[in-house]
Amino acid sequence: MVTFIYLILVVLILAAWWQVFAKAGVPGWAALIPIYNMYILLTIIGRPAWWLLLLFIPLVGFVICVVIYIDLAKKFDKGTGFAIGLLFLPFIFLPILAFSDAQYTG
């Protein structure tokens, strides 16, 4: 039963990332490819590609993730509180971002 719930959450999050990428004007399938999806996310939020390397450094990677989520929330006209929600409760806030009427303001 736990595995079933986990699989449902994984599918929900993947579908939400697909929709977020599509709203930003990039192909949704890019959300499915590890590392490449982070590169595309960095281009969506307007950060340099070399930030991808910073994600692999312990502690620094967490700070970069916080900045990425804050920038992503701002690109969709959401606040810092929403970004913190994306960071700590992505299974709730990511579908809200993806399937609501929030528009990418690039």
Domain boundaries, the chain: 2-99
- Read off the pTM: 0.90
Q: What angle do CA 49, 102, 54 make, to 5 degrees?
A: 20
Among 80, 76, 78, CA closest to 66: 80
Among 95, 102, 75, CA closest to 16: 95
Whether 68 contacts 42, CB under 8 Å: yes
pLDDT digits (tens, 9 = 90+) for 49-92: 999 999 999 999 999 999 999 999 999 999 999 999 999 999 99
E strand spans, 1-106: none
